[in-house]
Chain A
Amino acid sequence: MMKNGGNFCGSTEHDVSRRDFLGTLGAASVLGTTGAIHTLVADGPNKAIKKKDRRVILLWLAGGASQLETWDPKPGAPTGGPFASIPTDVPGTHISELMPMMAKRMKHSCVVRSLNTHDGGHGGGAQLMMRGRKDEPALKYPDLGAVLAKELGRMDSPVPDYVNFYTSTEGRGSARISPAFLGARYGAIKLTDKMVPPNIRRLKDISQDDHEARLGLRDLLSKRFQQGRELATVKSHAAAYARVHGLMSSEKLFDISNEPEKVKAMYGPTQFGQQVLMARRMAEAGVPFVRVGRAWWDSHGQNFETHSEMVPELDRVLAALIDDLKQRGMFDNVLIVTMAEFGRTPRINGSLGRDHFATAWSATLHGCGIQGGALFGKTDKNGEHVTDDEIGAGEFFATILRAVGVDHQKEYHIGARPVPLVNPGIKPISQVLT
């Protein structure tokens, strides 16, 4: 069964373009009642949660942002680097001076300073953080976006369930995402060199009238076929066509030109800012999970200058996203996550760089289901070890799930085999959840 599931979902190269989507559907029809087919069946037990319209925007700081130059500064320590720390609007919580805008918004934010994820490799670390655990030899797990696309998405949604921006080429391979056994239905629309998904436009030689006529004919034939047939496969076939039609009309989601200048200015002129603004538009339109990959933070040389370029950009964009969501009344329904594959070494190398470090690093949560102003975990004076409340990738993954109302103990089934969303014994960080 696993083998079938694996073949069905295909590789991680499965971009969900319109044609891929239909191709997958065809495979699903052939496979009949595999575990993957369950993913195409309409609303299951999470119906109530889905009605809450919860969304997640993940800012993926690819390459590994330094916790010491962001969320866990150690000014004055030999490892602290040259930046000062600044007080925030949460008494007792200080962050890097590179983040003055977020310093005024920490009452809306939660910092987790005690990640020890044990994997300092880009590929291993990315897989771990995006899945909450390592793949097994015979079982590949779906990534966070795929899980939330399934749990928070709607079968009849006219918008994508999972969009992944990753424009820079570095680390794109190591930050691989995959729906695994959930199937390509929950895979990401991957936006790399272009800001708009490929193949969602109507072909030029098909007029709008022809397009609508074809749709009508297909709908008519489909309804006739469905009469007297209550098979889930038939329903999902029709739903898939409806989704493809929705995808074809979702191009405007990826167009920020009509956003007010004031809003665009909040996010700033950079590509990252524009993509996060698009992510907000998508969340507003109902896309359950958007990952915006900002690469590349891997500062083995000149760490401080790299961070003096990149952290102010993160500060501005994250602050803008929080403000924008609050102004739209969406902040309580959208969870913002910042994380990477790991952090960076406290030790400063000869090139004034910091290297990979998974032993004591930070991630943040903001918005939906999260206690604003929460500070979880602690590292020692030099930032070399976690001293309080150490957690791993699994606990952080479970916390994200719980924050948006997904039961982390839920199980999927691949045939008869139950596959829990997180490994047994893993618990969310209850202290930071509302």
Chain B
Amino acid sequence: MPDEKNVNFKVKKEVSRKDICFSMERVPGTGRLYFGSSDGGVYDIDLTSGKPEAKRCEGNGHTSYVTGVALTEKHIVTGAYDKHLAWWDRESGRLVRRQMAHNKWLRGVELSPDGRLIASVADDMVCRLWDAETGKLFKELRGHKIRTPHDYPSMLFCATFNSDGSRLATADKPGHIIVWDVKTGKQIKTMESSGMYTWDPSQRRHSIGGVRSLCFSPDGKTLTAGGIGKIGNIDHLGAKARMEIFDCEKGESLKVLEGGDKFKGLVEHLLWHPEGDWIVAGGGDHNGWLLFIDPESKKIIREEKAPMHIHEFAFNEKTDHIFAVGHNKLARWELEA
């Protein structure tokens, strides 16, 4: 892992689009991405090619924003605000089937490390575990409240598995985080990151924020949650990006980190560097950024502007490239030592 101070961090490719790209998964060993779009489409693009061109997968899988993409051995599995999961054949890019998965917006899908389960989270406040290939329901995880503390419909934004797939964490709008035992479906630990949720009782009388992203450390001992800090003017995403690191054993908050003044908005996605050297956060407000956190010192060690509000990103295997999708744009960065 290069010394972060000496990394040369360059955008090598930008692809402008008219849509909003909410979700992605990189095809291992390549620069190819499958990404989900605001136009309801699922697209295939190679960001390492000279002139990347997005090819839309065939079939009417979704009718609204595609907010989750996962790659199983045979399929591309996608989830969308239309409440459906869809399975697409990886070879042909054609729709295999779609099924109603939730009663409200489906916010994301995650594949278990062994590739056997798909977790989907939605604003019906249920996390459902599905057989990744057949789509058969395996388990329902219920524990998030359906209303916010101020009696409005809540939202269940994100889920993530730990590295051995035995645990799954989910997080909602008021900042309630639950760690589940995947096999039994029981709650192991709960944590609160209420600093991510802003309710304005006097000026504007609605809420904003929530925990938008989660990632376990490779050893599973800590869990990092991402979102936005308390917002003064909730018309805008006008607060610093916020991350909170929890001790999974004790369920205690270890550290709260905030982006700099120029790095406001939501932490939409969190990733541990494959070698465990960094935690990387991507997100934004009207603009976008990537933040790099040293897990040892639990400090933000580098902040980089991005060409768009980032919704999801991934490293390649060598960790010398980052691929990202976001608002009206896709991008690839190169990290040179």
Chain B residues near A302 (CB-CB < 8 A)? 208, 237
CB-based contact B203/A351 at 8 Å: no
Tell me if B206 is interfacial: C-beta within 8 Å of chain A. yes
Tell me the nearest residue of chain B to A272, going by C-beta: B205
CB-based contact A350/B203 at 8 Å: no
CB-based contact A168/B64 at 8 Å: no
Chain A residues near B18 (CB-CB < 8 A)? 78
CB-based contact B206/A296 at 8 Å: yes
Per-position binary interface string of chain A over residues 261-275, scored 1 when its CB falls under 8 Å from any chain B CB and 0 otherwise: 000000001110000
CB-based contact A301/B203 at 8 Å: no
Give the docked Cα–Cα distance between A271 and B201 (Å): 11
- Tally of A-B Cβ pairs under 8 angstroms: 89
Tell me if B226 is interfacial: C-beta within 8 Å of chain A. no
Min CB–CB distance A357 → chain B (angstroms):
15
Instruction: Say which one of B126-134, B177-185, B269-277, B281-289 lies at the interface with A.
Output: B281-289
Please pick, from A76, A167, A296, the residue contacting B235 in the complex, using a CB distance under 8 A. A296
CB-based contact B236/A300 at 8 Å: yes
Min CB–CB distance B265 → chain A (angstroms):
7
Chain A residues near B81 (CB-CB < 8 A)? 82
Tell me if B151 is interfacial: C-beta within 8 Å of chain A. yes
- Residues of A44-102 contacting chain B, CB below 8 A: 63, 75-76, 78, 82-84
Please pick, from A300, A305, A350, the residue contacting B155 in the complex, using a CB distance under 8 A. A305
Q: A299-B235, A301-B235, A353-B236 are in contact. Are A348 and B204 (CB under 8 A)?
A: no
Main secondary structure of the interface of B (DSSP, over half): loop
Chain B residues near A306 (CB-CB < 8 A)? 206, 208
CB-based contact B206/A309 at 8 Å: yes
CB-based contact A309/B207 at 8 Å: yes
Chain B residues near A11 (CB-CB < 8 A)? none
Min CB–CB distance B300 → chain A (angstroms):
21
- Residues of B28-83 contacting chain A, CB below 8 A: 38-40, 63-65, 81-82
Tell me the nearest residue of chain B to A313, going by C-beta: B152
Tell me if B327 is interfacial: C-beta within 8 Å of chain A. yes
Tell me the nearest residue of chain A to B311, going by C-beta: A352
Per-position binary interface string of chain A over residues 282-310, scored 1 when its CB falls under 8 Å from any chain B CB and 0 otherwise: 00000000000011101111100110111
CB-based contact B105/A82 at 8 Å: yes
Q: A302-B237, A312-B153, A350-B285 are in contact. Are A296 and B205 (CB under 8 A)?
A: yes
CB-based contact B206/A310 at 8 Å: yes
Tell me if B308 is interfacial: C-beta within 8 Å of chain A. yes
CB-based contact A82/B65 at 8 Å: yes
Tell me if B309 is interfacial: C-beta within 8 Å of chain A. yes
Min CB–CB distance A218 → chain B (angstroms):
41
CB-based contact B285/A301 at 8 Å: yes
Give the docked Cα–Cα distance between A168 and B200 (Å): 9
Tell me if A257 is interfacial: C-beta within 8 Å of chain B. no
Per-position binary interface string of chain B over residues 111-125, scored 1 when its CB falls under 8 Å from any chain A CB and 0 otherwise: 000000000000100
CB-based contact B237/A348 at 8 Å: no
Chain B residues near A7 (CB-CB < 8 A)? none
Per-position binary interface string of chain A over residues 334-354, scored 1 when its CB falls under 8 Å from any chain B CB and 0 otherwise: 000000000000001111110
CB-based contact A169/B203 at 8 Å: yes
Please pick, from B20, B208, B286, the residue contacting A305 in the complex, using a CB distance under 8 A. B208
Q: A308-B153, A309-B206, A351-B286 are in contact. Are A301 and B237 (CB under 8 A)?
A: yes
Tell me if A251 is interfacial: C-beta within 8 Å of chain B. no
Tell me if B297 is interfacial: C-beta within 8 Å of chain A. no
Chain B residues near A349 (CB-CB < 8 A)? 286
Chain A residues near B4 (CB-CB < 8 A)? none
Min CB–CB distance A125 → chain B (angstroms):
15
Chain B residues near A255 (CB-CB < 8 A)? none
Min CB–CB distance B58 → chain A (angstroms):
18
Chain A residues near B308 (CB-CB < 8 A)? 350
Tell me if A170 is interfacial: C-beta within 8 Å of chain B. yes
Q: A269-B151, A301-B238 are in contact. Are A84 and B63 (CB under 8 A)?
A: yes
Q: A296-B205, A296-B206, A306-B208 are in contact. Are A350 and B309 (CB under 8 A)?
A: yes
Residues of A in contact with B, size category: 35 or more
Min CB–CB distance A320 → chain B (angstroms):
16
Chain B residues near A82 (CB-CB < 8 A)? 38, 64-65, 81, 105
Tell me the nearest residue of chain A to B209, going by C-beta: A302
Tell me the nearest residue of chain B to A306, going by C-beta: B206
CB-based contact B63/A309 at 8 Å: no
Tell me the nearest residue of chain A to B210, going by C-beta: A305
CB-based contact A168/B205 at 8 Å: yes
CB-based contact A348/B285 at 8 Å: no
Tell me the nearest residue of chain B to A296, going by C-beta: B204
- Residues of A21-52 contacting chain B, CB below 8 A: none
> Which residue, A271, A300, A348, A353, has most C-beta atoms of chain B within 10 A?
A300
Give the docked Cα–Cα distance between A271 and B81 (Å): 29
Chain A residues near B20 (CB-CB < 8 A)? 348, 352
Min CB–CB distance A301 → chain B (angstroms):
4
Give the docked Cα–Cα distance between A350 and B265 (Å): 10
Give the docked Cα–Cα distance between A271 and B284 (Å): 33
Chain A residues near B236 (CB-CB < 8 A)? 300-301, 351, 353
Min CB–CB distance B225 → chain A (angstroms):
18
Q: A84-B63, A296-B235, A308-B153 are in contact. Are A351 and B285 (CB under 8 A)?
A: yes
Min CB–CB distance B174 → chain A (angstroms):
13
CB-based contact A309/B152 at 8 Å: yes
Min CB–CB distance B90 → chain A (angstroms):
26
Tell me the nearest residue of chain A to B238, going by C-beta: A301
Min CB–CB distance A147 → chain B (angstroms):
28
Give the docked Cα–Cα distance between A429 and B325 (Å): 47
CB-based contact B206/A169 at 8 Å: no
Chain A residues near B265 (CB-CB < 8 A)? 351
Chain B residues near A270 (CB-CB < 8 A)? 151
Beyond the given A296-B206, A306-B208, A351-B285, could you list 18 further A-B residue pairs with CB under 8 A, ordered by the A residue number?
A: A63-B235, A82-B38, A82-B64, A82-B65, A168-B202, A168-B203, A168-B205, A170-B203, A294-B205, A295-B205, A296-B235, A301-B234, A301-B238, A306-B206, A312-B153, A348-B38, A350-B287, A353-B236
> Could you name 30 residue pairs across A and B whose Cβ atoms are closer than 8 Å?
A78-B19, A84-B63, A168-B203, A169-B202, A270-B151, A294-B205, A295-B203, A296-B206, A296-B235, A298-B235, A299-B235, A300-B235, A301-B234, A301-B237, A301-B285, A302-B208, A305-B155, A308-B155, A309-B206, A309-B207, A310-B206, A348-B20, A350-B284, A350-B285, A350-B288, A350-B308, A350-B309, A351-B237, A351-B285, A352-B327
On A, residues with C-beta under 8 Å from B are: 63, 75-76, 78, 82-84, 167-170, 269-271, 294-296, 298-302, 305-306, 308-310, 312-313, 348-353
On B, residues with C-beta under 8 Å from A are: 18-20, 38-40, 63-65, 81-82, 105, 123, 151-153, 155, 202-208, 234-238, 265, 284-288, 308-309, 327-328
Instruction: Give me the 10 closest cross-chain CB pairs, A-B, nearest first.
Output: A296-B204, A350-B286, A301-B237, A170-B203, A350-B309, A82-B81, A350-B327, A309-B152, A82-B65, A301-B236
